[in-house]
Structure 1
Amino acid sequence: MQMYNSPYRGVLDCVRAIWQKEGPAAFYRSYTTQLTMNVPFQAIHFMTYEYLQELLNPHRQYNPSSHMLSGALAGAIAAAATTPLDVCKTLLNTQESIALSTPSSGHGPGQGQGAHRHISGLAHAFRTVYRLGGLQGFFKGVQARVIYQMPSTAISWSVYEFFKYGLTKHQLNKRRTQHMEAEK
């Protein structure tokens, strides 16, 4: 559905067509790539958020602006760092015709065979992206990905911190009340 000039009228049409043409395995084509991307994304995201909280909010008080700024920057950095994996995942998912029809330039398996019928696996996707766009090809769409992630992660962290604060405050008040009743 995200491809330029997508031939599908909607999500159900897309699912039906892919199921008929390629079978159920097509829906899991980039699953390992997705996992390969999500693990470093989340690691970078959480480490960056915690580091920024140490700088901006060292006493770890409820501070919505520091939570939002830290969350937005953490999401931006994680998104930028994992964009090469996202580009490969998108290529595996879409199997874009330009990548399939461009003759091989002698990189990797199948040298000199011309067009590939199917891009399979992360290594093949990496070779294809490099063949088509060089190193800068791995960062196609980095700005869009960062712009998408920043508000998303800012909102997520601020909501998380809000509920953590609310629940912690509620538990603290409950303990105080129980302690005061016990002293009576």
Structure 2
Amino acid sequence: MLRRAWGFLLPTLAGQEYDSDRHFDELFRKLNRHGRGMVDIKELQKGLESMGIPLGQDKVIEQPVTNGKRKLLTLGTFIQYLRDNEKTMKMTFKSLDKNNDGVIDASEIIYAFKLIGINIPKKEADKILASMDIDGSMTVDWTEWRKYFLLEPVKTVEEVLHYWNRFTAHSLDTKNMNIISRLIEMVKEGGIISLWRGNGATVLKIAPETAVKVWSYEQYKKLLTEEGQKIGTFERFISGSMAGATAQTFIYPMEVVKTRLAVGKTGQYSGIYDCAKKILKYEGFGAFYKGYVPNLLGIIPYAGIDLAVYELLKSYWLDNFAKDSVNPGVTVLLGCGALSSTCGQLASYPLALVRTRMQAQAMVEGSPQLNMVGLFQRIISKEGIPGLYRGITPNFMKVLPAVGISYVVYENMKQTLGVNQK
């Protein structure tokens, strides 16, 4: 029975037999000590490991049959695992085979790593190829790929790259990822204009977002204080948090479009409308609110801290250093805005990172669509706690001057319009 089932499976998977067909068949028959076509999972793992093929129990065994203290695996379960894996492996192989010539070469491995910000030399790419290459061609075709990754607990493009990264960890250090090298790669991939990819959507969203935030901030402050009462720090924080949540809810679909345009390849979208149309067509309306929950959880402390700290700093300067003017001046306002934004960013950046990854993950072919908790777990398991703050340096470089300028304009417009501050 085992031989017939196994013989049926392999041509279905590959269109031809694996070199190790006989070894797998013999292993199953040898370990089938409990009858009814079942093998002990731990014994199966040891047997496969002796053949140089690690078997990830958590990936294969979803519903094992329990017999006392033993966990048994049916041949049918293992067959279904192989069938499901081949579909994912095929998608991953095609994603890496950029020129569609049916093989993966060193240049395509180098390019894949560059997309995640890691630069590797050709000799390291050759080492990776050599670990999979069977015929000595220094390329990997589909048969070699399938044979190598059939029972590995890595399937998606991202998982494969992390697997290779560990495989040559001494040279593929993520410290190679830096702002300058990433800027250079962006220019090579799409020219100077690629540095402003998604900026149109940012400009379109920032006007209503800022207007709603500052208007609702003033309204919430009025709601939380009595007439003539001086507003306290707690009321400022709550008002800022509610204002940030209100503004983000209002403009969030544009946030998703902005992210997709920014991380997309050159020519993937012709513009804002084309991007929104494709998201709606292929992913549905719900895609416009992917990452909304972590975004909301992040914007509440960020907006609350940002607005509250800004007004506290400005009030402190006016109380202690101002002479005859109630206008602190551009320099002071820029400093207050930059410092308040820094405090808000440090408190909320991990949630902002998860939000951005949730918005962008649908663009990676073969990548699992993880929720907020799943993404947090994956980042921490693969990169540790520092991984939650990856990219915060360029974010500071972008946000600090932008927020500072926004507050300068905000204060000047308040004076021009005659808006009184509590």
- Whether TM exceeds 0.5 here: the answer is yes
After TM superposition, give the deviation of residue 118 of structure 1 in Å. 1.2
Q: Distance in 1 between matches of 2:267 and 2:377?
A: 27
Q: Distance in 1 between matches of 2:373 and 2:337?
A: 31
Is residue 77 of structure 1 aligned with residue 343 of structure 2? yes
Is residue 140 of structure 1 aligned with residue 405 of structure 2? no
Is residue 13 of structure 1 aligned with residue 279 of structure 2? no
Equivalent residues in 2 for 1:85-124, closer than 5 Å: 85-95=351-361, 101=367, 117-120=368-371, 122-124=372-374
Name the count of aligned residue pairs: 154
What secondary structure does 1:53 align onto?
A: helix
Q: Distance in 1 between matches of 2:341 and 2:347?
A: 10
State whether residues 291 and 355 of structure 2, in contact with CA within 8 Å, keep that contact through their aligned partners in structure 1: yes
After TM superposition, give the deviation of residue 156 of structure 1 in Å. 1.8
State whether residues 362 and 369 of structure 2, in contact with CA within 8 Å, keep that contact through their aligned partners in structure 1: no
Shift in alpha-carbon separation, 1:167–1:15, aligned structure 2, 3 A: closer
Shift in alpha-carbon separation, 1:3–1:96, aligned structure 2, 3 A: farther
Is residue 62 of structure 1 aligned with residue 327 of structure 2? yes
Moved segments of 4+, more than 4 Å: 96-101
Shift in alpha-carbon separation, 1:6–1:130, aligned structure 2, 3 A: farther
Shift in alpha-carbon separation, 1:139–1:32, aligned structure 2, 3 A: same
After TM superposition, give the deviation of residue 96 of structure 1 in Å. 6.2
- 2:312 is aligned to 51
The amino acid that maps onto 1:2 is A
- 2:263 is aligned to 3
- 2:161 is aligned to none
Shift in alpha-carbon separation, 1:135–1:7, aligned structure 2, 3 A: farther
After TM superposition, give the deviation of residue 47 of structure 1 in Å. 2.2
Q: Distance in 2 between matches of 1:99 and 1:141?
A: 23
The amino acid that maps onto 1:153 is V
What secondary structure does 2:319 align onto?
A: coil
- 2:381 is aligned to 131
Larger radius of gyration: 2
Shift in alpha-carbon separation, 1:164–1:154, aligned structure 2, 3 A: same
After TM superposition, give the deviation of residue 74 of structure 1 in Å. 1.0
- 2:20 is aligned to none
State whether residues 334 and 405 of structure 2, in contact with CA within 8 Å, keep that contact through their aligned partners in structure 1: yes
Please point out which of 26, 39, 43 is paired with 2:300.
Answer: 39
Q: Distance in 2 between matches of 1:6 and 1:31?
A: 26
TM-score for the superposition, normalised by structure 2:
0.33
- Give the share of equivalent positions with the same residue, in percent: 23
Shift in alpha-carbon separation, 1:100–1:89, aligned structure 2, 3 A: farther
TM-score for the superposition, normalised by structure 1:
0.71
The amino acid that maps onto 1:25 is G
What secondary structure does 2:334 align onto?
A: helix
Taking only aligned residues, the RMSD between alpha carbons, in angstroms, comes to 2.7
Q: Distance in 1 between matches of 2:351 and 2:266?
A: 22
After TM superposition, give the deviation of residue 159 of structure 1 in Å. 1.6
State whether residues 80 and 145 of structure 1, in contact with CA within 8 Å, keep that contact through their aligned partners in structure 2: no
- 1:109 is aligned to none
After TM superposition, give the deviation of residue 48 of structure 1 in Å. 1.7
Q: Distance in 1 between matches of 2:346 and 2:366?
A: 26
